[in-house]
A = this chain, B = another copy of it.
Amino acid sequence: MPTLADVGKAAGVSRGTVSNVFNRPELVRPELRQRVEAAARALGFGGPDPKGRLLRHGKFNSIGFMPPGAYAIADVMRSPYGRELVLGVSLACDEAGVTLSLVNGTDNTRIASIREALVDGFILGHSADIGLITSAQRRRLPFVILESDAGPDINSIKIDGRSGAVAAVRHLTGLGHRHFAILSVRRTSGPPIVHMPGQAKRPLLAGFSLDDERLDGFRQGLTEANLSIDDVPIIETTPGDPSAGAMVFDCVPEATAILTMSDWQAITILDEAVRRGIDVPGHVSVIGFDGTAESARTTPPMTTVAQDVIGKGRLAARMILDNAAPRQIVLPVELVVRASTAAPRAKIR
């Protein structure tokens, strides 16, 4: 690979002049410029190597997006939520002329990935893995953490998940529902976990306050209607688990309303309902979370706790690009009522 110096030698000029030909051509006499360009062409030199420039300037012009917890970038792309989030981030990146790096990393390589990533800042998916945070802090790069409880000196953005969860339950109890099932998220890999009433519940998972907060919202909503979350079966599946729907219908046939943690999960349930010929919302109501575009196009269109996912991604990118003082932002949610929820079926089934 020829370098600036090689081209300079070939054209009988200095390194600096060749650099000027490529970066500030107006500074160099036309005749000389052409000679240099000819030499460059002859050597197959395709312009200054970005590596050098990078080292000089110290800017990558890139922000990194790191998926949460145990997920790979591929999982992010599979999830409606993840896609909209990346879309939002990419929107801000497009505007700023900055590259978006999807930084992957398995549990054990993730910290190294943060240490090595060629980016000027990070967006960390929803897991306040303390290791990740300290790793990001060490790099002294701006970063934002999503959907996690982070300290006051850390950029963070989250939605008001608790209120959303409360609103979801209120909507359903308002319709008359008394028999619920909750489809929650398993944050480690493995098969679904079923918590039936009476059994001990999953301990709070450090770092995934997101789930705990929503669960707590469900609890509160149920309490308001004189119901107890302890009587509600909770099923945990990994986010993309296609068997989630089957698990719910098999384990909690008596439920007339199913609360979920994401549109993705709710879609799984809707798909399974179609497969089994179960009528939604006639036989069972289903409520999603996130309000992604997909939720509007399911059959039937889904009732969901909507947030502005794209806006969130965009905001996260902007926070990094602006690199201002750390802020903790809580975004509102809104219950969007569509056709996947209705009054419960008559008791006689």
Interface residues of A (CB under 8 A from B): 1, 44, 46-47, 50-55, 58, 60-62, 64, 72-74, 76-78, 83, 86-87, 90-91, 93-94, 97-104, 109, 113, 115-118, 135, 137-140, 267, 271, 297-299
Contact = CB atoms under 8 A, between A and B. Distances in A.
B117 A99 contact: yes
B54 A118 contact: yes
Contacts of A60: 118
B90 A73 contact: yes
A91 B137 CA distance: 28
A152 to B, nearest CB: 20
Given A52-B55, A98-B104, A267-B297, 17 more contacts: A44-B138, A44-B140, A46-B137, A50-B117, A50-B118, A51-B58, A62-B101, A62-B118, A83-B83, A90-B104, A93-B102, A99-B101, A99-B102, A99-B103, A100-B101, A297-B299, A299-B299
Contacts of A100: 73, 101-102, 104
A64 B118 CA distance: 13
Contacts of A61: 116, 118
29 contacts: A46-B139, A46-B140, A47-B115, A50-B117, A51-B118, A52-B55, A53-B116, A54-B54, A55-B55, A61-B118, A62-B118, A73-B90, A73-B100, A74-B91, A76-B90, A77-B86, A77-B90, A78-B87, A83-B83, A90-B104, A93-B102, A94-B104, A99-B113, A99-B117, A100-B102, A101-B101, A271-B297, A297-B297, A297-B298
A100 to B, nearest CB: 4
Contacts of A91: 74
Contacts of A78: 87
Contacts of A104: 90, 93-94, 97-100
Nearest to A65: B102
Nearest to A270: B297
Nearest to A87: B77
A134 to B, nearest CB: 9
B73 A93 contact: yes
A104 B63 CA distance: 13
Nearest to A90: B73
A-B pairs, top 7 by smallest CB distance, nearest first, are A46-B138, A77-B87, A73-B90, A72-B94, A100-B102, A74-B91, A74-B90
